[in-house]
Amino acid sequence: MSEVPDQLPKDPISAVGIVTSSSKAPDGYTIVAQTTDGSDADLWKDGLFKSKVTRYLCFTRKTGPGVVVGLKLIDMKDALPESFTPLLETMDTKEAATRKRRLCVKMSPREAAETAVYDIQIIAKTKYQLDNYTCLGEINNMGIWYRMGEVHHQKLTPAISNTPQSDSPSNTTRVRRVSRPQYEQQSSGSYTMTALDDVPFVISERFHEKPKEMQRVNLMGITIKSLAEIEEEFHYNFSTEWSVGQ
């Protein structure tokens, strides 16, 4: 039992397979060649006759888009569980992977997985139990156990734009943001949003430039005159008063 790790591995298992030799591991894969007590972990061997055919379980923790989130061991005649994929062929020779029983794997996108399989162990005597592991089932009187763990996702930091912001308003559109008056904030310190908070108000383009002179407007018969027109029409120089005083 000393070969079973106490701590959870750093990365979850991203793929599971079966190979024909315990000495030829696929690139990046770990072969479960021995049981926890050091016995041969051949999944194919016959209990009565020694066979030249061997099968070994292997797995990898290579970082990829998917992770293993479930394992099932079913009989050949059983229906395939939903969302599970059976391991039908060996990875190295494309031969039948197992007999009598079938190992099935459930995959999930890494970013969508909350928990995943982190380790797989095989024990020679099914009466033994592994702490923090779940028994998948038996093949050739050997128990397959797996350990689940939480998937840690990397938190993405939002990129900060280095584009300089212009201090001058646009020539075509001037936007003024109206802040909420201070008297609307309750004395208790709570703040209630309204429908007008942070609503941009745009000044019409016709008010961007001040007219050079006022145009005459006739409103209900009343003529509005400019200051120059009023001065010209009602100018009085007080010449008579000046002559009397002299």
Domain presence at residue 188: no
Per-residue CA distances from 81 to 15, 70, 144 (Å): 18, 11, 18
**Continuous segment of H or E residues that includes residue 56:** strand 56-60
Count of domains in the chain?
A: 1
Judge contact between 119 and 9, C-beta under 8 A: yes
Domain presence at residue 224: no
Domain boundaries, position 27 = 15-150
Domain presence at residue 113: yes
pTM exceeds 0.75 for this model: no
Q: What is the mean pLDDT of the chain?
A: 79
- Terminal CA-to-CA distance of the chain, rounded, Å? 132
Domain presence at residue 73: yes
Neighbours of 25 (CB within 10 A): 17
Domain presence at residue 58: yes
b vs e for 154-165, b when ≥16 Cβ sit within 10 Å of the residue's Cβ? Answer: eeeeeeeeeeee
Judge contact between 53 and 108, C-beta under 8 A: no
Domain presence at residue 186: no
Cα–Cα distance for residue pair 17/29, rounded to 1 Å: 9
| Token pair in block for residue 78 | 């059983």
Q: Model confidence over 35-85: pLDDT tens digits? A: 998 999 999 976 555 668 899 999 999 998 999 999 999 999 999 999 999
Q: Model confidence over 197-239: pLDDT tens digits? A: 666 666 666 665 555 555 555 556 677 777 788 877 777 777 7
Identify the CATH number of the domain in which residue 99 sits.
2.100.10.50
Domain presence at residue 225: no
Residue 99: closest CA among 60, 70, 73: 73
Domain presence at residue 21: yes
Residues contacting 121, CB < 8 A, separation 6+:
3, 4, 32, 36, 130, 133, 144, 145, 146, 147
